[in-house]
Amino acid sequence: MAGTAWSDRLRNLTGRRAGTTPVADPLVADLQQALSADRVHDSGVHRALMKKDASVFTGGVSGPLCYPETTEEVQAIMRIAERHDRAVVPRGAGTGLAGGAIPLGAPIVIAATRMNRIVDVDLDDRVAWVEPGVVNLDLTRHLQPLGFHFAPDPSSQQVCTIGGNVANNSGGPHCLAYGVTNAHVVALEVVLPSGEALMLGGLDAEPLGYDLRGAFVGSEGTLGFTTKVAVTITPNAPAVRTLLLSFDTIRDAANTVGAIIADGIVPAALEVMDQRITEAVENYVGAGYPTDAGAVLLAEVDGLADGIAIDADRIGEIGRAHGAIDVRQAATEEERALLWKGRKTAFGAIAQIAPDYYLHDTVVPRAKLADVLDEVYAIAERHDVLVMNVFHAGDGNLHPLLVFDARIEGKLDAVHAAGSEILAASVAAGGVLSGEHGIGVEKQAYMDQMFTDDDMDHQGRLRRAFDPVCRANPGKVLPMGHSCADIAALRSVPSEVWG
């Protein structure tokens, strides 16, 4: 196991690359007949576009790209894939950071793009039925006039899709109080790799049977394709207060977070940014963050006006007791919106500093935040990599951001090596490999730091029940050897097809 040689490992997985123009492919012909010629793309350009997602990983090899519009079309694609013994990979907006959407073994890529309808908003049951290609923020914008929103709010919410949120069990700053995607999915219509369409879960209080809906959420596209989702809609809070606390050191900010939770307050969000990222954000959007502080803590409480005033005051007191040098509350909605714009565009702000970044995603117990952050800075320094920290502190979800220029020889390897040590430090502190980005191809090789062979064997059993031949998104999540027929699926690419 190593953080290096990712591209070598992926190259081994992805079969041969002939470098030639594809010959007329019966697979493509079947897909075009099932959908339509203009919704199945097989050109080199289209395939090249699907090779990557928002992660740093390369080495993906895509097969034909399909844009189904109905559940029946997804079923047809699955049956064609089975007939041609080809893998399939679901794709939302491609914003994943763990390489979960990278096609391995020239699979059929099933894009959710054209399944983007908000089918129904059911105020009596307080759910919205949506297709997988609906953009997260579009759903919330649709619900706002009705007095509701969709609670998970990943930083990529302006582009990421609900189908992708389901696949990754996505989080976001406001999941501290409201829970991640799994808590908000009540029913799922999915198409299994066999082509069978099933409804998992239900709108009733305690649906009969195993919680297959819960097992499906966060499975990173390895169990099938989501064609429709019933998500809970959350009432908008009548009042909200947003505080900005400044500290000399990130340790003080981290310790304040632990103290707030220990005090019995569960804020809507608790986000920390270190000085480097705060400076970058200020240069980028001018959100009003202090650039001379060692770290800032963005704390938000929502609910009823009187109660959150008490919580906001208490958060200020706790902050001051833990070394806050300044505490201010956003006085207007505009000021609040600007602070959040700064937080949510933090990753875009990095472009001023270096062309590439690698965003990590571990979770540690809140009490260990300060110590693990110290280690993260030390690790980055040892590897001569610039690190910035912007993270969901309230639930201990670290997001060390390694900023670099991939054109510099050896830099990406140094970034991977540093990342590997950050993972090890997080797990050693009693934490986990991923809080919200998933495992994808990024962290498969580290799964044995958390899980025993028996544990991973049982995860593989869950997968096999849905997908006995591992046709859906092979080569992801579980390390090779723990994942049924992954290897067979990846080797099944006809050699004449690929370029």
Binding to another protein (CB under 8 A) within 234-293 occurs at 235, 237-238, 258-259, 261-262, 264-266
Looking at residue 316, its amino acid is: G
Q: Which stretch binds another protein (CB under 8 A): 69-77, 117-125, 289-297, 412-420?
A: 117-125
Minimum distance from residue 402 beta carbon to another protein (Å): 20
Q: Are 442 and 359 in contact (CB under 8 A)?
A: no
Q: How far apart are CA 466 and CA 327, in angstroms?
A: 51
Please write down the HEC assignment for all residues of 234-301. Answer: EECCCEEEEEEEEECCHHHHHHHHHHHHHCCCCCCEEEEEEHHHHHHHHHHHCCCCCCCCCEEEEEEE
Dihedral, CA of residue 210, residue 362, residue 299 and residue 378, to nearest 10: 170
Residues in region 381-400 near another protein by CB under 8 A: 392, 395-397
Binding track over 4-43 against another protein, x by CB under 8 A: ----------------------------------------
- Name which of 304, 138, 331, 300 is nearest 236 in CA terms: 304
Binding track over 325-364 against another protein, x by CB under 8 A: --------------------------------------xx
493, HSE (Cβ side, Cα atoms, 13 Å): 28
Dihedral, CA of residue 281, residue 284, residue 288 and residue 290, to nearest 10: 50
DSSP label of 476: -
**In Å, what is the CA distance from 449 to each residue of 371, 426, 440, 453?**
20, 10, 16, 11
Q: How far apart are CA 6 and CA 305, in angstroms?
A: 51
Looking at residue 147, its amino acid is: G
Dihedral, CA of residue 448, residue 101, residue 340 and residue 275, to nearest 10: 50
**Which of 171, 193, 342, 475 is the binder for another protein (CB under 8 A)?**
171
Minimum distance from residue 420 beta carbon to another protein (Å): 14
Minimum distance from residue 369 beta carbon to another protein (Å): 11
Nearer to another protein, 47 or 463 (CB): 463
Number of amino acids touching another protein (CB under 8 A)? 92
Q: Which stretch binds another protein (CB under 8 A): 47-55, 217-225, 337-345, 407-415?
A: 217-225
Q: Is 405 exposed, middle or buried (0-12, 13-18, 19+ CB in 10 A)?
A: exposed
Minimum distance from residue 32 beta carbon to another protein (Å): 28
Residues in region 363-382 near another protein by CB under 8 A: 363-367
Q: How far apart are CA 364 and CA 357, in angstroms?
A: 22
Q: Is 326 exposed, middle or buried (0-12, 13-18, 19+ CB in 10 A)?
A: middle
Binding track over 416-455 against another protein, x by CB under 8 A: -----------x--xxxxxxxxxx---x---xxxxxx-xx
Minimum distance from residue 322 beta carbon to another protein (Å): 13
Minimum distance from residue 191 beta carbon to another protein (Å): 11
Residues in region 174-203 near another protein by CB under 8 A: 175, 179-180, 182-183, 192, 196-200, 202-203
Minimum distance from residue 373 beta carbon to another protein (Å): 16
Nearer to another protein, 452 or 495 (CB): 452
Q: What's the token pair of residue 98?
A: 């763990």
Q: Which stretch binds another protein (CB under 8 A): 122-130, 134-142, 289-297, 488-496?
A: 122-130
Residues in region 52-91 near another protein by CB under 8 A: none
Q: Which stretch binds another protein (CB under 8 A): 77-85, 130-138, 210-218, 346-354?
A: 210-218
Contacts of 483 (CB under 8 A, 6+ apart): 460, 463, 470, 474, 475, 477
Whole-angstrom distance between the N-terminal and C-terminal Cα of the chain?
A: 30
Nearer to another protein, 232 or 275 (CB): 232
Q: Within 10 Å of residue 396's Cβ, how many Cβ atoms?
A: 26
Minimum distance from residue 284 beta carbon to another protein (Å): 27
Minimum distance from residue 125 beta carbon to another protein (Å): 5
Which residues on adjacent β-strands are paired with residue 371?
Answer: none
Minimum distance from residue 183 beta carbon to another protein (Å): 5
**Which of 38, 124, 334, 409 is the binder for another protein (CB under 8 A)?**
124
410 binds another protein (CB under 8 A): no
Minimum distance from residue 142 beta carbon to another protein (Å): 19
Q: Are 88 and 130 in contact (CB under 8 A)?
A: no
Residues in region 125-154 near another protein by CB under 8 A: 125-126
Q: Are 253 and 320 in contact (CB under 8 A)?
A: no
Residues in region 296-315 near another protein by CB under 8 A: 303-304, 306-307, 310-311
Nearer to another protein, 4 or 194 (CB): 194
Minimum distance from residue 265 beta carbon to another protein (Å): 8
Q: Which stretch binds another protein (CB under 8 A): 2-10, 118-126, 284-292, 409-417?
A: 118-126
- Name which of 383, 387, 358 is nearest 372 in CA terms: 387
**Which of 47, 251, 360, 463 is the binder for another protein (CB under 8 A)?**
463
Q: Are 7 and 97 in contact (CB under 8 A)?
A: no
3-state secondary structure of 95: coil
Going by their DSSP bridges, the two strands 108-111 and 65-66 should be labelled as parallel
